[in-house]
Structure 1
Amino acid sequence: MKSVLITGAGGFIGRHLVAELLAQGIAVKALMLPTEAIPESWGDKVKIIRGDIRRLMELADEIGEFDTLFHLAAIVSDWGAKQEHVDITVHGTEQAIALALKNSARFVVTTSIAAYGSKMGSGILDEQTQRGTPASNYEYVKQRQEDVTLKAVCENGLHATLIRPSNVYGVGSVWVNRFVDKLAQQEPSLMGDGNWDAGLVHVRHVVQAMTLAAQSTTLPAGEIFVIADNPGVTWKQYLDALANTLDLPKAKSIPNWLARALAPILVGVGKLINQKNPPLVTNLAYRLTGVESIFKSDKAKKMLGYKPEITLEQAMQEIKTDFEQR
């Protein structure tokens, strides 16, 4: 791995990935949206390509050659029009695959544990767990994203690895910023008592898995890896730690049975009236935070050498430092 292209480089995971690759001395090319701000820390060390993931192949000459493509560009929300999700997340992945094939490049795509769909909440989940029925556009397109990648592996010889992270947190994460806003405004942020595993993974653990997959010379094409922290941190513990770290009020909760009942109703009404912002509870939000899923990364530990070592306490210190510097 000497020269890489990162789609979605300006996003949450993308910025952490760029920082790690630059630290390793790897040449980085970053696909950025036309108006997206470039982090000051990048300086002139990153080649910026402005464009739309849906028309990535049109930028092939400007991008030039690379040996690895990290594909992160996607809609990171369970709200919005289904066709927009398909156009950006699914068709954007097809464009990234085509460009990787053109360059004979390694392809590392980040999907999501949302691909499990209705299987979330059924206990221990790993790579052997069959995917369930999607209940949101996000779940649907994450399944499709995996499908088109695996199809290209079988039909076109794409050298791909699929990284399926759990709930990614850390500096800049929606699992931090959104909950901080809810805590500050004393809006409900817990479903029930929240005493079940939160299925968290620190962003640098995701980056670690991605780079290990890209650097492996023996990894078969088409492998899927669930990437999570070691189980043991509940949603209540996480939100208590966030509140204590940033001197915020303790998390308020909504009864779990009420959240489960409200989710499909609020989603249905929201779609009917073309609601711009997601409702208080969505189907995916309930599946991610209202039930217990224990995500196992044993396969990644064995095949990639993946080691999740950052503790919740260390992560909270980083978050505190970040907020103090704002």
Structure 2
Amino acid sequence: MTTAVVTGGSGFIGGHLVEALTARGVQVRALVRPTSRTDVLAAAGAELVHGDLADAASVAAAVAGADVVYHCGAIVSDWAAPGMFDVVNASGTRNVVDAALAAGARLLHVSSTDVYGFPDEGGLDETTPRTRRGWGYVDAKISGEEAVLAAVAERGLDAVIVRPASVYGPRCPYFVEGCAELMNAGQLSYIGGGAATGGFIYVADLVRLIMAAADRAKAGEVFNGTGGRPETWREYFEGLARVTGATPISTDLDKQEAFALAEKYEEEALARGDVDAPELTRHAWAMYATDQHFSVAKAREVLGWEPTTTLGEGLEKVGAWWADR
């Protein structure tokens, strides 16, 4: 029986991946922190191993004896305490790389289309250069990818990278629960009329892409993960309000004025030493104001994968979960 390790198993993507793997008959070991909520993992029958990505010894212990490592663990946010993105998303990934090499395991690294630096040009493929922006999450994700690909080229690591854009679905803490809360509080505005595309991908479609890449892709390959359709943030938020009963967004910010506000808010938050995110960051601005409709032609051609869930269908599933949660 195949043994798979999932880092970040208690998170949104990791939890859905664990469920899909155990349903396939894979023996799953989930690396989780002692404080993590693990009811989904327990229900799926996964083995729980306590550890932390920043602790190389605990990562190595969790990965020992594995056939495949799915590295989903990360701080997923536009803001974090100083240095934490590097500690978890960059150095943590290097720890996973070392552990996978020691175990002789294949590594599937979940990255992000954010590594492209938000070029604001739709339809770009995996050859688009990675671009640092001085934003913690973006730059640390690039460092993580560099560690993976350097290990492939120089140390013989068998690894593949998947870069999702905006992932949503049941149990999503940011684009579903978090955004619904902000909408109800009147704290979420459109930027530029909500006309930018979001690169939305329903979580079950992403999980299928992750498993297909782990199963069939050659070492060193990279795949974008979006829903393949140029759907906008206005479409998404109008649909989210409809299926959750959240208060629809009624305010709109000019694109350039919003960027200036984000700069101002970040400067003020840094001056105060805030750990909590300011009202708007440059990273969040880029996410909501620039085109994220990246090409998934490579995944279709190489893996035979197809995103099958439209935004409307995915939001209906979110609504059904929301009503029962």
Residue 94 of structure 1, CA deviation: 1.0
Between the aligned partners of 1:190 and 1:9, the Cα distance in structure 2 is 32
Between the aligned partners of 1:287 and 1:40, the Cα distance in structure 2 is 32
The Cα RMSD (Å) is: 1.7
**Amino acid of the residue matched to residue 201 of structure 2?**
V
Secondary structure of 2:306's match? coil
Q: Greater shift after overlay, 127-136 or 54-63?
A: 54-63
Counterpart of 1:285?
A: 284
Matches within 5 A, 1:190-269: 190-216=190-216, 219-252=217-250, 253-269=252-268
Q: Greater shift after overlay, 141-150 or 75-84?
A: 75-84
Q: 1:277 to 1:128 in 2, by over 3 A?
A: same
**Amino acid of the residue matched to residue 12 of structure 1?**
F
Matches within 5 A, 1:25-64: 25-40=25-40, 42-43=42-43, 45-58=45-58, 60-61=60-61, 64=64
**Amino acid of the residue matched to residue 32 of structure 2?**
M
Structure 2 spans left out of the alignment, 5+ residues: none
Residue 258 of structure 1, CA deviation: 1.8
Counterpart of 1:304?
A: 303
Residue 192 of structure 1, CA deviation: 2.2
Q: Do the aligned partners of 1:110 and 1:162 also contact (CA within 8 Å) in 2?
A: yes
Secondary structure of 1:54's match? coil
Counterpart of 1:129?
A: 128
Residue 302 of structure 1, CA deviation: 0.8
Secondary structure of 1:201's match? strand
Counterpart of 1:101?
A: 101
Q: Greater shift after overlay, 278-287 or 314-323?
A: 314-323
Between the aligned partners of 1:59 and 1:313, the Cα distance in structure 2 is 39
**Amino acid of the residue matched to residue 93 of structure 1?**
T
Counterpart of 1:163?
A: 162
Between the aligned partners of 1:207 and 1:268, the Cα distance in structure 2 is 37
Q: 1:156 to 1:34 in 2, by over 3 A?
A: same
Residue 242 of structure 1, CA deviation: 0.9
Q: 1:40 to 1:170 in 2, by over 3 A?
A: closer
Between the aligned partners of 1:189 and 1:204, the Cα distance in structure 2 is 28
Residue 213 of structure 1, CA deviation: 1.2
Residue 44 of structure 1, CA deviation: 7.4
Count of residues paired in the alignment: 323
Between the aligned partners of 1:3 and 1:139, the Cα distance in structure 2 is 31
Q: 1:87 to 1:59 in 2, by over 3 A?
A: closer
**Amino acid of the residue matched to residue 147 of structure 2?**
V
Between the aligned partners of 2:82 and 2:223, the Cα distance in structure 1 is 26
TM (norm. structure 1) is 0.94
Q: 1:63 to 1:113 in 2, by over 3 A?
A: closer
Residue 50 of structure 1, CA deviation: 0.5
**Amino acid of the residue matched to residue 297 of structure 1?**
V
